[in-house]
Amino acid sequence: MPRPHDGPRPFGRLRHTGNVGLSFGGAPPAKWAELDRSEKFFEEERAKLREERAQEERRKLAEDRLLGDFRRQIEAPLALGCLHVLARVRWPNGVTCPSCGRRDVERCTIDVGRRTFFEWHCCGTRFDATTGTRLQALGFQRATLSVVFRAAFIIVWHGKMSFDRFRTLLRIYDDDKAEHILRVVTTLLDRSPDPDLRKKDANLLDRIAFAFLHNER
């Protein structure tokens, strides 16, 4: 008695084809190879996407840490923060008197209310890191130095933004005062000779100080 499956097969004889697997009668279907290539392509794309996301997360984490360091330095007392950065950039080889050029100057620390300043005495004159600079000419001296640095940092770090956002980040809600600071600081930054001013790295505050000190009038 013939077995139920004996007789002609509707799709030809089933056989192994090696690498492809099973095929019906003749050559393996071309769609199978296309599906294999498509699956490999999509797997590679998924791997690339995962790597890009991981790199973006690492970049964002490093940027957040750097941002925290900058904020702590900007908000620090002037003797340790912005005034110190300005003095370090202005006199990399040691403090020099702007009047006589001598380096044997005497440093003094001054406490005014909750603020701490430092200045130097030499040849009968008193000076600090803003003396004789464009900042002093514009009326931004040590008392307002942290505001100027914070404004410059906001402009460089955050890029283009609305005036309301700038005012909120600066924490100055007087429109006239905030607009004046924005206009002056933007002009100082635009006239900076440093081509890498807007590069986000650990030397950003030093480049901002350089822009304030070496400004093309």
Q: How far apart are CA 178 and CA 163, in angstroms?
A: 9
Give the bridge partners for 14, in sequence order: 24
Quote the pLDDT of residue 113: 62
Quote the pLDDT of residue 25: 47
Q: Is the pTM of this model over 0.85?
A: no
Q: Please give the C-alpha separations between residue 110 and each of 22, 75, 92, 107, 188, in angstroms, as whole numbers.
A: 89, 18, 23, 10, 28
**What's the whole-number mean pLDDT along residues 44-60?**
82
pLDDT tens-digit readout, 139-168: 776 667 888 888 888 888 888 888 988 888
CA dihedral 207, 133, 148, 202 (to 10 degrees): 20
Runs of H (alpha helix) within 98-174: 134-137, 145-158, 163-170
Coil, strand or helix: which one is 109? strand
Percent of the chain's residues with pLDDT above 70: 71
Q: How far apart are CA 206 and CA 200, in angstroms?
A: 12
pLDDT tens-digit readout, 74-104: 666 555 678 888 888 989 888 888 888 888 8
Q: Which of 18-32, 59-73, 82-96, 108-122 has the highest mean pLDDT?
A: 82-96
**Joined tokens for residue 158:** 């955050």
Q: Is the pLDDT of residue 14 over 60?
A: no
Is residue 159 within a helix (H) or strand (E), and if so which, with residue range? none
